[in-house]
Structure 1
Amino acid sequence: MTRNKMMLALVLMVAMIVTAACGGANSNTKSDANNNAAATDAPKDPVTIEFWTMQLSPTFDDYIKNVISNFEKENADIKVKWVDIPWGDMEKKILASVASKTAPDVANLNPQFASKLAELDALVNMDEMVDKATIDTYFEGVWKSNTFNGKTFGIPWYLSSEITMYNTDIFKAAGLDPEKAPATYEELAQVAKTIKEKTGKYAWFPNMDGSKVLEGMVSDGIQLTDADMKKSAFNTPEAVAFFQYYTDLYKQDLIPREVVTEGHSKAIDMYQAGSLAILASGPQFLNKVQENAPDVLKATKSAPSVAGKTGKKNVAAMNLVVPKQSKHQEAAVKFSVYMTNAENQVTFDKIVPILPSIETALEDPYFNTLPESPTPIDRARIVSAAQLKDSEVLVPPMKNYDEIKKAIVEELQAAMLGKKSAEDAVKQAAARVDAELAK
């Protein structure tokens, strides 16, 4: 695999982006032949299940094919057909397959998109298909992130945990302690002011092209919706203060102008160019910095992610789901549990810098012990893994999520650009979210 291909794979996985021992999964799934005839496979006739992933081929062909081969050896009655779908085509293809009743047996999706299928009641309930002992091996908060209307629609696969990576050379030039990164939004604002005054550089590039704004609100103790997800709950003084925080930083030129037009890729470009002091991201992006700006990588240190008043940190998850249309649901769930077991996840995590969804997998020295002569990338991995147990998916799946996210970000940006007050922006955002939840 060429370095460029690996770099592309790293970026794509986070954009998707974000256990039991390796062995037969016979005890990991529940069977109820009376209530779910579709989940019962003929004991003598091998069945074939179709497994869809998002743009993992050809970069990870060896890994995926090896897991499938091992699974088939231990489950002679099941064959797995692997189909890799381009990232940009997955949503269209999976929706079309469900509509035409040709859905795959297992699909690799993120929680927010999978929830669209769950909203249609198109996915099996994993709480009913997987035994409790196996469920308990996954991080509790990550397992719950795959819940919609009280049903768990997916099994967590791989994760990404954002951390604070910062250029110590810029910190030193600004007279800041290079061993101390900001831990709160208040500290981040002060660091941004000091760095701009002392160096002319920016400290931070807020990411507004993903879910980071909403995650930041939740971390700051702001409830996005009511318990039933029927109405917004953030038209509050706390949310106004949150919007005002971003507005003040923007008006004081303490965050780049481009934050209202560009996203995470711009932050990476600025960090590796040495014009941004802090990169808030998954550690896998340091591979790109290593390739393009080795001097910046050498100056990079890592710390836990900046958090709001609650101290909560976010983790991004990818999962495996089983459509109800599958004629072999039990086999499909058995394969999903096998694919995500500790041994298979650790192997995958050593190929690409991601994190496991199985709690015991973190006991592997790879996640908690630095090698001799560690690189900044090694240190970032340890920091990221260490904060995983205290992280959760902060924004749960909800109806019309893309439009809800768009409404909140657009209103925040309107306040930042001076088109309306922070209070009016919050009020308008809440009204737009109410409209989406009412659909």
Structure 2
Amino acid sequence: MVKKRKGVLLTFCCVLLLSIMAVGCGGGGQSGSNEETGNEEITLELWTIALQPTFNDYFNALIADYESSHPNVRIEWKDYPYDAITDKLLTSIASGSSPDVVNLNTEFASQMGSKGAVVDMNEYLNDEQKGAYFDGIFNSTVIDGKAYALPWYTGTEVLFINTKLAKEAGLDPSNPPTTREELAEWGRQVKEKTGKAGYAQQLVSKLFPIEGIPILTEDKTAAAFNTPEAVAMINNMKQLMDEGVILKEDADFTKQIQYYSGEQTAFQLGGPTFINFIKTSAPDVYKNTIAVPLPTGQGDLRLSNSMNLVVPSKSEHPEEAVQFAAFVTNAENQTAFSKEANTLPSTKASTQDPFFSATDDSLEAQAKVVSAQSLDKATDYMVGVPNAKDVNSAIARGLQNILLNGQDVQQTLDAAEQEVNGILQQ
């Protein structure tokens, strides 16, 4: 799910403050955190995002299982709303009351990692533990060789098609588009025959790597997106918006749901969680929807949208915290959670379970199977990018200025490149 960008400046300021504090305080009270604890009982505080009360039974059983095999460890589980956890985390660390294991998305996990605010998992995990995850997903939070998070539940995008609108446009849903060019042609036909748009999208930086345009140089020290190929991509997108194939709007996830539910768009590019919303808001549209593999651009990427577990540097028990995070995200527990939550695992062994290949022809099963088939190719498009949140924001503003406000393509790309380079030097 796409996080609203309001509060980005405040969050960035908090991260900078945290970075300064970390340098000034030298890591707080964790100097003895790797000592043998013997029989001393320790408490690890786990924070998750929006999982209570739906998954209380699962987590209570998971925690009880861990505590039974680690008699000196107690787990205290707290759950917070999506929009609250980052600010709450920064505040708690600054006040000296850091949690031990925290659920964050990849973007913010990378942001925290680039500021030295979370531990390097490599210091506490063996090769077998690290090798359990899909390489592209695990490497999404590796910066300069340091692994700042363990991947947890994830998802890859699929293409949802409103079969009613597609058929009204003379299209065959059983032979769906496989490339972005074909998807654009489908959108044109939908617009011509029904007056509806093809799809809505958010103007974010992932639009570049989808078309094979890298956001940063290979060493992650400078912007790399200001290219003739980027100009051509943006001009093509502008034309599609002018034609009504893509809605001329920066449509966040909530707006995309509204447009698809109201049959203002015929297609939706999104993860399986999208189903939960249309099933409730538009049951008739849900019944007419199918899920097929996502059409690919020049980059031929399968982008993941992962949740992760991190261990803040201020944790008093980093080794025990990392081992608990590894337990939560191991193949057995990820498989079990996926069955409970209809998510996808980030562990290789999990996808061998028949659950991820079996289908009953429901929309949920279609999306699950299609998504699971792409996990071995999945990666976060901002792999290892320092200050990922701020880089994303700079590029998004540039796209908005060009596509919505009519600013010059090349001049705006030049300005965005300069802004991103400045961010990377911070």
- TM-score, normalised to structure 1, is 0.86
Distance 1:359 1:324, change over 3 A: same
Contact 1:116 1:399 in 2 (8 A): yes
Q: Distance in 2 between matches of 1:293 and 1:90?
A: 30
Q: Does 1:426 align with 2:418?
A: no
Q: 2:315 aligns with which of 322, 326, 329?
A: 326
Give the corresponding residue for 1:27.
none
Contact 2:197 2:247 in 1 (8 A): yes
Q: 2:108 aligns with which of 104, 108, 113?
A: 113
TM-aligned CA deviation for residue 310 of structure 1: 2.3
Q: 1:176 aligns with which of 159, 171, 174?
A: 171
Give the corresponding residue for 1:56.
51
Contact 2:402 2:408 in 1 (8 A): yes
Q: String of CA shifts for 1:262-306, please: whole Å, max 9, x gaps.
A: 412111112122221111111222122223323222221211112
Equivalent AA in structure 2 for residue 299 of structure 1: N
Q: Distance in 2 between matches of 1:253 and 1:16?
A: 26
Contact 1:16 1:110 in 2 (8 A): no
Q: Distance in 2 between matches of 1:307 and 1:296?
A: 25
Q: Distance in 2 between matches of 1:46 and 1:117?
A: 29
Distance 1:427 1:183, change over 3 A: farther
Q: 1:123 aligns with which of 118, 121, 131?
A: 118
Instruction: Give 3-state SS (helix, strand or coil) of 1:158's partner.
Output: coil
Contact 2:3 2:83 in 1 (8 A): no
Contact 1:108 1:320 in 2 (8 A): yes
Q: Distance in 2 between matches of 1:15 and 1:366?
A: 27
Equivalent AA in structure 2 for residue 112 of structure 1: E
TM-aligned CA deviation for residue 228 of structure 1: 2.9
Structure 1: runs of 5 or more not aligned: 1-13, 18-34
Q: 1:316 aligns with which of 298, 305, 312?
A: 305
Q: Distance in 2 between matches of 1:164 and 1:90?
A: 30
**Paired residues for 1:150-169 under 5 Å:** 150-169=145-164
Give the corresponding residue for 1:215.
206
Give the corresponding residue for 1:294.
283
Identity among equivalent pairs (%): 33
Moved more, 326-335 or 311-320: 326-335
Give the corresponding residue for 1:230.
221
Q: 2:399 aligns with which of 412, 419, 435?
A: 412
TM-aligned CA deviation for residue 69 of structure 1: 0.7
TM-aligned CA deviation for residue 307 of structure 1: 1.8
Distance 1:149 1:408, change over 3 A: same
Q: Does 1:354 align with 2:343?
A: yes
Give the corresponding residue for 2:33.
38
Q: CA RMSD in A?
A: 2.0
Q: Distance in 2 between matches of 1:60 and 1:16?
A: 22
Distance 1:385 1:145, change over 3 A: same
Distance 1:422 1:57, change over 3 A: same
Instruction: Give 3-state SS (helix, strand or coil) of 1:270's partner.
Output: helix
Q: Distance in 2 between matches of 1:133 and 1:199?
A: 54
- TM-score, normalised to structure 2, is 0.89
Structure 2: runs of 5 or more not aligned: 5-29
**Matched positions, count:** 401
TM-aligned CA deviation for residue 405 of structure 1: 1.8
Give the corresponding residue for 1:202.
197
Structure 1 segments (4+ residues) deviating >4 Å: none
Q: Distance in 2 between matches of 1:326 and 1:418?
A: 46
Equivalent AA in structure 2 for residue 349 of structure 1: S
